[in-house]
Amino acid sequence: MRFKDVFSIIGPSMTGPSSSHTAGAARLGRIARQWLGCTPERARLTLYGSFADTYQGHGTDLALIGGLLDYVTDDPRIPDAEKYAEQAGMEVEFYTSGLPAPHPNTVKIELWHGERQCSLVGASIGGGSVSVHALNDFRVQISGEFPTLVLRHADKAGVLASVTSTISSSGVNIGYMQVDRKARDGEALTAMEMDGAPSAEMLERLRSLDHVLDIRVIDLKRGVDSDAV
Amino acid sequence: MRFKHLHELNTICTAESKTIARLMIEEQVQETNTPEADVVRQMSEYYQVMKEAVRKGLTEDTTSRSGLTGGDGKKLAEYIRQGETCSGDASALAMAYALCVSEVNASMGRIVATPTAGSCGIIPGVFISSQERFGWSDEHLVNGLFCAGAIGYVIANNSFISGAEGGCQAEVGSAIGMAAGAMVELRGGTPEQVVHAVGLALKNTLGLICDPVAGLVEIPCIVRNGLGAVTALAAADMALAGVRSAIPSDEVIDVMLEVGSAMPSRHRETAQGGLAQTPTGRKMMEKLAKPKAKRAEPEAESEPQSTKDNSKEQA
């Protein structure tokens, strides 16, 4: 079933005028911000397909910026997001591209803050729902609907076993998991959609494991004030 | 969910002597493993957002960023106050409220997608005007939203609800069907009558193209929301009177899929056909044309990942 529940039909509560172009865009911006882990100093956004063609009329640009500021889909500040970005010291550049993309409503978001840098490719797939296709050029398939753990780690034997056993000993079920690597023995990225939110203790234990480079939590239902983890 | 089709909604609710709203709440609780109180609270919050949008449309400036639309909901409400309407006050008020919510949407105000933002005026227009007229409690209307949600769930999973996929019939048409069916249940109609209302309503929107002027969710979207609210009330009346959809409602939904799939892309939200390409529509688009963002420099540009894997995803 493409639509899973009643709130994928009634909802979300959102800033107009388009669930795909505005609500979905805000969610993609917010996921990118959570992936970076803080407010970006610089953002470069490349729009593809219908996003590139009609983003100005739909406020897609404002919604994306709003998301980067951690605004939820119905935050009243979205129409003035450019102003708030300036106040937050966030520099934003938009580009459009004619290259083929995973979906007609696709954006590539590149973010910088000090030494931190990250990228995300995601699409707004209808009714405000989104799908993230790439994080830092690693392939993923996440929706942000579930608390999602994203681990950067070395591509070594046994890393995933220790990660999953740490999670299972915390009593949290993994609903979906995807691993991708740049090269054998190189850097790898694992995304896990979980049935419950990870505790601070679980994150601490995961962080202390050998070969784990970094962990982020992506969760659209998470409170808007939470920052880097 | 225990249902995928409207006839199953009717069969289960009739057999178990429950309303469609009650079934939807139970299924939502089961499907998402969320307590009923939380599910109902979420929907109640959405209903308050809808009411607030009507209020905002009636009292505040709703001029859109393009400057093309705004203020018509207010105009209509004033007209109703002044004298006798052609379509009857109940219809006219539903229409006025629907315009208000759609105008708030176009001006980047807060609305609830029902099922989409482009069709966000119809359900609030019908619901809030009817609540005032019949003196219903919020709780009753929140149940109505669950009934509308169940109908939308069936339409969305058997056909479509977005203009880009199926034209405006999928967007405004689905909302009309949802509002019509819910209105029947709110007035005490049977699940079977609800199902007929959906079919009757959808039949009248088949083939409706999505042709937004300048690609904006404004012209003709806002007016179609207003007129859609009236159609929903009329379809509800037919069903409550015992009129049946001679073509079963599930088959009407299938036809919407067939018609929408056959529509040329210029009539599916691309602004390349229909009203968007009339001489006036083109003029509006030219007037609004803004300098676009830079094209990404070829050397800095790389194709976003996983093009092939996700090519089948919905628009």
Which one of A2, A4, A5, A9 makes the best mutation probe of the B interface by having the most chain B beta carbons within 10 Å? A9
In chain B, residues with a C-beta closer than 8 Å to the C-beta of A53 are 215
Q: Nearest chain A Cα to B118, which residue?
A: A18
Q: Does A95 touch chain B (CB under 8 A)?
A: yes
Non-local CB neighbours of A193 within 8 Å, separated by 6+ positions: A142, A143, A145, A146, A147, A148, A174, A175, A176, A177
Q: Which residue of A10, A54, A59 is in closest CB contact with B108?
A: A59
Here the ipTM equals 0.92
| Spans of chain B, pLDDT less than 50 | 306-315
Helix (H, G, I), strand (E, B) or coil at A93: strand
Residue A73 — pLDDT band, cuts 50, 70, 90?
very high
Q: Does A224 touch chain B (CB under 8 A)?
A: no
* Tokens at B183, concatenated: 């209105």
Only one residue has tokens 């929140």, namely B142
Written as one string, the DSSP assignment of B101-152 is HHHHHHTT-EEE-SS-STTTTHHHHHHHHHHHHHT--HHHHHHHHHHHHHHH
Give the pLDDT confidence score for residue B302 in this predicted structure: 64
Give the pLDDT confidence score for residue B28 in this predicted structure: 97
Q: Which residue of B217, B295, B311 is in closest CB contact with A97?
A: B295
Please write down the HEC assignment for all residues of A197-209: CCCHHHHHHHHCC
Distance, in Å, from the CA atom of A18 to the CA atom of A13, rounded to the nearest integer, reads 11
Q: What tens digit of pLDDT does each residue of A125-170 get? A: 888 889 999 999 999 999 988 899 999 999 999 999 999 999 999 9
- B10-17 contacts at long range (C-beta below 8 A, 24 or more positions apart): B10/B191, B10/B192, B10/B194, B10/B195, B13/B191, B14/B190, B14/B191, B14/B192
Distance, in Å, from the CA atom of B221 to the CA atom of B228, rounded to the nearest integer, reads 10
DSSP state of B242: T
Q: Does A20 touch chain B (CB under 8 A)?
A: yes
Contact A133 B296 (CB under 8 A): no
Q: Which residue of A7, A74, A127 is in closest CB contact with B116?
A: A127
Give the pLDDT confidence score for residue B300 in this predicted structure: 55
Q: What is the pTM of this model?
A: 0.91
Give the pLDDT confidence score for residue B295 in this predicted structure: 78
Contact B304 A96 (CB under 8 A): no
In chain A, residues with a C-beta closer than 8 Å to the C-beta of B115 are 9-10, 127
Distance, in Å, from the CA atom of A190 to the CA atom of A102, rounded to the nearest integer, reads 20
Give the pLDDT confidence score for residue A57 in this predicted structure: 86
Give the pLDDT confidence score for residue A228 in this predicted structure: 41
Give the pLDDT confidence score for residue A53 in this predicted structure: 85
Give the pLDDT confidence score for residue A196 in this predicted structure: 87
Q: What tens digit of pLDDT does each residue of A31-71 get? A: 999 999 999 999 999 999 889 988 988 999 999 999 999 99
In chain B, residues with a C-beta closer than 8 Å to the C-beta of A128 are 113
How many other β-carbons are positioned within 10 Å of the β-carbon of residue B115? 33
In chain B, residues with a C-beta closer than 8 Å to the C-beta of A83 are none
- The pair phi, psi for residue A183, each rounded to 5°, is -160, 160
- The pair phi, psi for residue A113, each rounded to 5°, is -150, 110
Q: What tens digit of pLDDT does each residue of A172-223 get? A: 999 999 999 988 889 999 999 998 889 999 999 999 999 999 999 999 987 6
